Amino acid sequence: MSGNGKVLFALVVAGLLALGAGTAVTVASATTPAPMVHHATLHHVKGEVTAVEPTAKTLTVKAMQGKETMDVGATITDKTAIREGKTTKTLGDIKVGDHVTMTYEKTGTGMVAHAIHIQPAKTTAKKM
């Protein structure tokens, strides 16, 4: 091999080694497991508000579960979305007796509300 041929051969070998090293890194990273992500299990309850505590940031909803009633109390956070239709509301807008649908998560410390949808008040038409 001439001098130029040796240089070309060395460059080709170096390129193949670099390509192989990149492939090894890619294979190694492809087999590294992704970190585990906690997906919350969300629960839904639809019922009547029986208690609202704005200072404690809690809400209690009485709902039917089969033939039994159950009370679900949840903590309201700054991330809890409260809406009536398309209008954003606050915990202070919810009153005892309102009908709501609440989406919540059970945590190690209790229930945390993710979303609360206030149902529009039903109007009764008078029959003549």
Could you give the CA distance from residue 73 to residue 55 in angstroms, rounded to a whole number? 15
Residue 103: CB atoms within 10 A of its CB come to 16
Encode 5-48 in three state secondary structure. Answer: HHHHHHHHHHHHHHHHHHHHHHHHHHHCCCCCCCCCCEEEEEEE
Q: Look at the domain 42-118 and name its fold.
A: OB fold (Dihydrolipoamide Acetyltransferase, E2P) (2.40.50)
Q: Residue 27: pLDDT band by 50, 70, 90 thresholds?
A: very low
pLDDT digits (tens, 9 = 90+) for 50-98: 999 999 999 999 998 889 999 999 999 999 999 999 999 999 999 999 9
Answering whether pTM is above 0.75, one says no
Give the residue from 38, 37, 47, 43 showing the smallest Cα distance to 111: 43
Buried/exposed code over 45-55 (b: 16+ C-beta within 10 A; e: otherwise): bebebbebeee
Domain edges within the chain: 1-37, 42-118
